Amino acid sequence: MAMNLALFSLFLGVAIVFAIVPTIIGGGYGDEDCGDLLGNDVYKDRCPETEAIIYAGVRLAVFEDPRMAASLLRLHFHDCFGCDASVLLDDNDNFVGEKTAAPNLNSLRGFEVIDAIKQDLEIVCPQTVSCADILAVAARDSVVVSGGPSWDVQMGRKDSFTASKSLANNNIPGPNSTVATLVSKFQNVNLSLKDMVALSGAHTMGKARCTTFTARLQGSTNPNGPEASLEYVQSLQQLCSDSDGNTLANLDLATPATFDNQYYLNLLSGEGLLLSDQNLATGDDQTRELVETYAQDPSAFFEDFKDSMVKMGSLGAVTAMNGEIRRDCRSVN
Ligand code: HEM
Ligand SMILES: *[C@@H]1O[C@H](CO)[C@@H](O)[C@H](O)[C@H]1NC(C)=O
Ligand SMILES: *[C@@H]1O[C@H](CO)[C@@H](O)[C@H](O)[C@H]1NC(C)=O
């Protein structure tokens, strides 16, 4: 505990220096009230420590639980398709939140990490930084601390007043999805086939429950299924054999805590964990071509992933008119 605290103070110290230096060098005033465009400098004057505090919180959380990087990245994805922190709201008298939607229940993690970061931010700059922006920055930082690329996060999202369980159920594709379904679910929110294949590379980190990849357990014995590595399928069958469905497997067997392009290499050798993953290499020529490109060229993957994350992070971002800055990410003010 003492060690964690000391480390945390160190991170915070370093982080604050990083936050303050650019403010001194930089300059210019953002437009504070008109929030209809996302930008890089929205908190520059009002809360220059924002990114440093979020980075410190992510570092600490991932230090304590290496899987947390994956969980925070996924949390932003499930919030997006409308990046408004609706995913963080607990149920209340007016609505049933998104936490119990099929893709989220017993699955999404990291809510306490976001709470802790929000509490730190509330001390330094009360009611200034939105929960939706915290999610977007934490996702970027999770990639960075795992060895992946960095990018400028556009900020200025507002937090929603409500949440929609049914939208979450309808918008987020399931793990048995065909390429056609994946493409159409992403196209619904203006993300292209290329965005979809690049963003799927997030499955280079983290874990999935047996219940999400039962389709893969049939593996090469399923004549209509995608190619599979027999050895891989057998190892999964063994892992899940006496499981209640909640046993976890690494989405990327080889390097589960590193953000790299290994995921695409796995797909080419028939070792995609989810059927939806494996389908990208086997179910469609266009996606197959991108999988091959990213498998061969890690920097092409990093470049496209960054671009697509920025695109995804701007979806349905709520602006000044119909959102707020929550004090507590779990409830509306
Ligand atoms: C293309 C469609 C996608 C499908 C069908 C899909 C499906 C899933 C499923 C079923 C799991 C395991 C959940 C569980 O066992 O509880 C998972 C985990 C994960 N997903 Fe996706 N996903 C998709 C796209 C994405 C995107 C776009 C991102 C982020 C940019 C992402 C990031 C992650 C991460 C990091 C994990 C591991 C989380 C952890 O270990 O806590 N996924 N995904
Ligand atoms: C997608 O783009 C169309 C046309 O530009 C726009 O009307 C729509 O609101 C966008 N949808 C989302 C979810 O951003
Ligand atoms: C996926 O398909 C398998 C059959 O191949 C089925 O048993 C499983 O319930 C499906 N999973 C989901 C999440 O729909």
CA separation for the pair 210, 208 (Å, rounded): 7
**165 and 262 housed in the same domain:** no
Domain carrying residue 231: 190-310
| Mean pLDDT of all residues in 301-321 | 86
Give me 23's structure tokens.
């403010």
Q: Give, using CA atoms, the residue closest to atom 5 of ligand 2.
A: 190
CA separation for the pair 251, 176 (Å, rounded): 15
Q: Which of these ranges, 29-33, 43-47, 137-141, 157-161, has the smallest mean pLDDT?
A: 29-33
Amino acid letter for position 292: E
| Mean pLDDT of all residues in 280-300 | 96
**166 and 194 housed in the same domain:** no
**Nearest ligand 3 atom to alpha carbon 175:** 13
pLDDT band at residue 218 under the 50/70/90 scheme: confident
Cβ neighbours of 44 (radius 10 Å): 19
Q: Which of 78, 99, 140, 158 is catalytic?
A: 78
173 is in an annotated binding site: yes
- State the distance from the centre of ligand 2 to the C-alpha of 190, rounded, in angstroms: 6
**22 and 154 housed in the same domain:** yes
**67 and 166 housed in the same domain:** yes
Q: Cα torsion for 161, 307, 120, 109, to the nearest 10°?
A: 70
The enclosing domain of 272 has a CATH number of 1.10.420.10
Q: Is residue 182 a part of any domain in this protein?
A: no
pLDDT at 289 > cutoff 70: yes
**234 and 154 housed in the same domain:** no
Backbone angles phi, psi at 76, to 5 degrees: -65, -45
Instruction: State whether the beta carbon of 70 lies less than 6 angstroms from ligand 1.
Output: yes
pLDDT band at residue 174 under the 50/70/90 scheme: very high
| Mean pLDDT of all residues in 101-125 | 96
**67 and 144 housed in the same domain:** yes
- pLDDT for residue 318: 60
**152 and 293 housed in the same domain:** no
pLDDT at 240 > cutoff 50: yes
**19 and 140 housed in the same domain:** yes
* Count of domains forming the chain: 2
- Across all residues in the chain, what is the average pLDDT? 87
**228 and 153 housed in the same domain:** no
Let me know if 78 is a catalytic residue.
Answer: yes
**87 and 131 housed in the same domain:** yes
Q: Which ligand is nearest to the CA of 178?
A: 1
- In what helix (H) or strand (E) does residue 273 lie, and over which residues does it extend? none
pLDDT band at residue 32 under the 50/70/90 scheme: very low
- pLDDT for residue 3: 43
Of 225, 234, 107, 229, residue with least CA distance to 174? 107
**36 and 145 housed in the same domain:** yes
**256 and 113 housed in the same domain:** no
CA separation for the pair 320, 126 (Å, rounded): 18
- pLDDT for residue 20: 42
Q: For a pocket test of ligand 1, which of 73, 74, 258 has the largest count of ligand atoms closer than 8 A to its C-beta?
A: 74
